[in-house]
Amino acid sequence: MAFEFTDGNFQETAIDKKGVAVVDFWAEWCGPCRMIGPIIEELSTDYEGKATIGKVNVDNNPEVSFKYGVRSIPTILILKDGEVVDKHVGVTTKQALMEKIDAALN
């Protein structure tokens, strides 16, 4: 299951933690977010032990969303050692996300 990032745990689980974190900014009312949700769940299983893959509900976590300038959802950030190395706004394919994650892992 995808990790749940929050305003309270984001610093320690995505920024301070070494390695790759994939963060999906979403909301329950967002149709495109619901389309990409299952892909994020699959990736969290596929990359278990290699990357932290999870979601931030923008309605419940405004601080993180504001900090990263998330204005449209879904927005997916890929962080490596706390730094944003890639960003995607809108719906995408599992393959496209895997390529971005693999690039960050290498």
Catalytic annotation, residues: 30, 33
Neighbouring-strand partners of residue 57: 26
Place of tokens 């994650």: 101
Neighbouring-strand partners of residue 7: none
In Å, how far from its chain's centre is CA 104? 13
Helix axes 94-105, 31-46, angle to 10 degrees: 50
Neighbouring-strand partners of residue 88: 76
Type of residue numbered 64: V
